[in-house]
Amino acid sequence: MTGSPRRTLVTTALALLAAVAPLTSSATAAPRAPAAADAPADLDLSKSAAQWIDKNTLAWDVRGDAASQELVYARDGQLTVKDGELAGEGRRIRLTPAEGGLTDAQRKKYPHLKGYAAFTVDPRDRDRVRTALTGQLVATRSGADGTLLGATGVQTQGILDDLYGARATKAALGPQFRGGRPTLAVWAPTAQSVSLELDGKRVAMRRDDASGVWSVTGARSWSGKQYRYVVKVWAPSVQKVVTNKVTDPYSTALTADSQRSIAVDLDDPKLAPKGWEKLRKPGATPLRDAQIQELHIRDFSVEDRTAKHPGQYLAFTDTASDGMKHLRELAKAGTSYVHLLPAFDIGTIPERAADQSKPDCDLKASAPDSEEQQACVTKTAAKDAYNWGYDPLHYTVPEGSYASDPAGTRRTVEFREMVQGLNGSGLRTVMDVVYNHTVASGQADKSVLDKIVPGYYQRLLADGTVATSTCCANTAPENAMMGKLVVDSLVTWAREYKVDGFRFDLMGHHPKANILAVRKALDALTLKKDGVDGKNIVLYGEGWNFGEIADDARFVQATQKNMAGTGIATFSDRGRDAVRGGGPFDEDPGVQGFASGLFTDPNASKANGTPAEQKARVLHYQDLIKVALTGNLADYTFTDSAGKKVKGSEVDYNGAPAGYAAAPGDALSYADAHDNEALYDALAFKLPADTTAAERSRMQVLAMATATLAQGPSLSQAGSDLLRSKSLDRNSYDSGDWFNALHWDCRDGNGFGRGLPPAADNKDKWSYGKPLLTSASLTPGCTEINGTSAAYRDLVKLRATEPAFSLATAGRVQSRLSFPLSGTSAETPGVITMEVGDLVVVFNATPQAQKQSVAALKGAAYKLHPVQAKGGDPVVKSSSYERSSGTFDVPARSVAVFERG
């Protein structure tokens, strides 16, 4: 912490004089003495190391004494450092060192700045603050002899919130219609001017000084017109004042490829498909009971020969297509939600079909283990029609490439028709949303937010550069107006598109407070007022803890442990890794787990260790799965495999607690999702090479069962019940239709053997994958594909119809769910026996039939549950129970559910 520098009378006088006079150019400035040897100058104006956190306080990570410190601002951005001096015409704001540094309240609000020195704006200069924010800002420190000791740009997120946040967060932004007349409003507090470009003309906009919002009200004729904002603003990323022509971050409609915003009223009856106002949704399923299919819009139908609208929103209205028939079967079994990968305006897909590239080779002609397919697909990947879509350009407009016409409002109508189609099939709709980053920042072509309020919407590191820990330009939802954008956007999707839930990408990069604000805003929506019951909207997300905000470094994050008890679920990787084995980034993909043969059916990989090591690890994996089956409850108490009584939070998961949830529904279980290898591909790497297709099918079902039969919500990647493969691709975000498309007809195969996966993310695993891709045992036929699907639907039906799998509180889980053989001599490696209510579930991951004797149940009557006894899995029907000994007999590689009575 920097103490108060000593100031001589002369230095003080010089500072007072400088404060009231413009900074002169270097040509007329007084000579400067060289910096002292122990205080090297840090004079880089391209960095922004100082942070103006409120209207009175500048925080700066500096050490040592300085005689004076100031803020210098220049409207035209002419300040530079030349020959160790600050040059250019500017005006000064005096700063005084704050005794004791930042206050306790400031440290609490900005914990990452707690070690910074604090400087207070001189009261005599506070009338200059708002003006200073509209130009270049430089923080300086000088020695007693006038030597420039430090000069840096200034981050202004904090002061912008302090000055404008209270009013701006209440403002209605974007196109707002009243009586048919639109008002267009944009928040741009640092802009020197903002005008509207509409119909080739410039229209002046009015600035509200209290909020920093610029707005203009137009005539009815403006409805449907294209527009952009013309914003003149200082841009630190290029160190100059720029005039940006930029689309509306609150756009509700766009032209093709997002070149212009369109002034559209989403309440216009012309945009409502038939029956929209009276849309009847399936009954709401509480989050703790949600069974979710994760689905990419293009994957769903692009290779479905029975779809009339392949690759489009309208494919979900093709009721006779194979894909829609499959979804209806899943809904009938008990699947409640379809989770759509990002469907907002995406920055990495050309929206016009004519502009999209296609692979120019015969992909079907190459061998199953060839490098040719991936090479051909990769050549066109940047300009083809495919991307997962985690590249947000405009947050609140549907993506145009999935519409029959990307120009205008067809995308609005057709997105609504998609929701109708899913709802009509018995499924509610979840949107995958990506508010943690943007596709670009600064002055890049596809930057929007950062061109309007530079340095505000993106999260900045200590030097002022944009953080990219999410893989792209991070946003800063901790800042008031980015947080508002998140809330406003989600309310629009819920109210105007009747979306039933949201899945947050990298939710841990949001403040917990922001996600709770979303929950509060959605809860306020009512059927009478808004046409939707917001309390029925489900929320869940990725609560990973990493990056510049890790461990609550800047705010309390929306991470796994922090979201416990909120009713907002986080993905749990604990059970996933235990079921599959190892982790997603293992050097050797052959590391086995509970459902891939660890110890019970070892493969040839040396990474699995000795038999003794394998046995110890599979038993620990079983403990992780037991915790997952409880809903990852932190306080659930049970006997672990070592015979020790533990809580879920005391079971180790890579140095973190396995159990972190406070109630069922806090944790979402899954065995696979779009990220990392599909479950079938992970098992392909891990199961012994000679495992038959039939046995692989059974292990697929077993793995999926650990998530499906767990307390709380579960998610499955669409097609996993059909043994879906991406030909071993671990990161297929840009791998095109060839590696990603779903195959609903078993005669088309499951996607395995389509060639080696793209080199960029997979080449280091090619040596492992090449011999697999030509293996006959890894090419399932219709018997295996359809059998897997039927068995999975039985599990979903069990989950949806048996109250024992839907225990509402942690207390009920504790009293109703147990693992009677855990930690005893009867616990079998590769087998988990769970008693829940009047049910007993045996997960047998071994290649042999297993008998599980539960002494406490001796004399009780049990039988295989009717759903399985009459279901689609002929093998599990051979399961039996011996009443006299309380012994359950389950065939190899099976999960069997028994009911009492």
Give catalytic residue positions. Answer: 505, 542
User: SS3 for 732?
Assistant: helix
Which three-class secondary structure state does DSSP give residue 174? strand
> Please, where are the H alpha helices in 713-765?
736-740, 759-762
Q: What is the CA radius of gyration of the chain?
A: 30
Listed residue (515, 548, 485, 501) closest to 187, CA to CA: 485
Specify the length of the chain in residues: 901
How far from 613 is each of 575, 584, 593, 845, CA to CA, in Å? 20, 20, 12, 18
What is the token pair recorded at 390? 């985690």
* Of the candidates 279, 277, 251, the residue with the CA atom closest to the CA atom of residue 409: 251
* HSE of 703, CA atoms in CB hemisphere, 13 A: 36
Structure tokens, 234: 């200082």
Letter for the amino acid at 744?
Answer: W
Could you give phi then psi for residue 195, rounded to 5 degrees?
Answer: -135, 165
The values of phi and psi at residue 209, to 5°, are: -65, -25
CB environment 155-186: b (16+ within 10 A), e (fewer): bbbbbbbbbbbeebbebebbbbbeeeebbbbb
Nearest to 738 by CA among 388, 389, 386: 386
Q: Closest by alpha carbon to 892, among 850, 854, 862? A: 850
Sign of CA dihedral 54, 60, 64, 70: negative
Q: Are 72 and 91 in contact (CB under 8 A)?
A: yes
- Plot region of 374 (φ>0 → left; ψ -120 to 50 → alpha; else → beta): alpha
Comparing C-alpha atoms, which of 886, 774, 766 is closest to residue 833? 886
The closest alpha carbon to 726, from 669, 769, 776, belongs to 769
The distance from CA 75 to its chain's CA centroid, rounded to whole angstroms, is 38
Whole-angstrom Cα distance, residue 22 to residue 734? 54
CA distances from 450 to 47, 120, 233, 247, 444 (A): 16, 28, 11, 12, 9
Q: Give 857's contacts (C-beta < 8 A, 6+ positions apart).
A: 820, 835, 840, 886
CA distances (Å), 402 to each of 244, 310, 313, 408, 675, in order? 29, 9, 6, 13, 22
Residue 199 CB contacts under 8 Å (≥ 6 apart), including other chains: 225, 226
Strand partners of residue 647: 637
Distances (CA, A) of 504 to 129, 434, 509, 672: 37, 6, 10, 17
Tokens 């990307």 -> residue: 406
Residues near 131 by Cβ (< 8 Å), separated by ≥ 6? 73, 75
Q: SS3 string of 247-305? A: CCCCCCCECHHHCCEECCCCCCHHHCCCCCCCCCCCCCCCHHHCEEEEECHHHHHCCCC
Name which of 482, 498, 686 is nearest 600 in CA terms.
Answer: 686
> Residue 529: what residue type?
K
Give residue 57's Cα distance to chain centre. 34
